Amino acid sequence: MKIETDRLILREMNKGDLDALYAEMLADPEIMKHQPQLFEKEKVRELISHYIEGYRTFGFGLLAVCLKGTGEMIGECGLTMQLIDGSIKPEIDYHIRRDMRGKGFTNEAAEAVRDWTFCNTTFHEIYLYAKFQNAKTERIAARWGCRLASEFRDGFSDSEKVYVITKNEWEKLN
């Protein structure tokens, strides 16, 4: 699986992505502030193996977000199956390196995954969920056409907001 945008290449992760994913993203307290915990290096190694298995099993998963010109990995973004308010749903998840934020890469990657999902899967809805206090995710969801669908308690925080876009809503954007 590979997705290209004007500035990015989203590609399947491999074991060589461990250091970039760990040190620059999943162990960064600022990037992970809305998550229940930071990831240890061994856990990130297991995640990459899980991602690789997911590509084979489902045909999708979290992808390495790389700059088109250099190939440098600046984040991860992709379609995952998540437990959201008691149901397994397709969700776009992402983490972009701190020094690459504010340049539109998160939105560009998320939109590309959204478009790929509606063109290449049978899903008729895509979700995005975020901690109640995560205003950045709320803005990203609005930028790529999502609307607030619900709120629920997840056990890690007071409340989660769930955003959704349907295939019909997406088609009207194009």
Local confidence band at 113 (pLDDT 50, 70, 90 cut-offs): very high
Task: With a cut of 70, say whether residue 106 has pLDDT above it.
Answer: yes
Q: What is the DSSP letter of 31?
A: T
Task: With a cut of 70, say whether residue 155 has pLDDT above it.
Answer: no
Identify the top-confidence range among 20-34, 56-70, 158-172: 56-70
What's the token pair of residue 10?
A: 């989203």
Task: With a cut of 90, say whether residue 160 has pLDDT above it.
Answer: no
Share above pLDDT 70 across residues of the chain, in percent, rounded to a whole number: 83
Task: With a cut of 70, say whether residue 23 has pLDDT above it.
Answer: no
> Which H/E stretch holds residue 104?
none
pLDDT value of residue 84: 84
State pLDDT tens for residues 78-104: 999 988 888 899 999 888 888 888 899
Torsion angle (degrees, nearest 10) of CA 67, 72, 74, 77: 70
pLDDT, greater one: 30 or 69: 69
d(CA 10, CA 67): 9
pLDDT value of residue 33: 54
By the 8 A CB rule, do 93 and 77 touch? yes
Spatial CA neighbour of 77 closest among 113, 38, 115: 113
Structural domains of the chain sorted by starting position, each given as residue range(s) with its CATH number in brackets = 2-173 (3.40.630.30)
Task: With a cut of 70, say whether residue 35 has pLDDT above it.
Answer: no
DSSP string, 42-99: HHHHHHHHHHHHHHHHHS--EEEEEETTT--EEEEEEEEEEEETTEEEEEEEEEE-GG
β-pairing, 62-67 with 8-12? antiparallel
Local confidence band at 131 (pLDDT 50, 70, 90 cut-offs): low
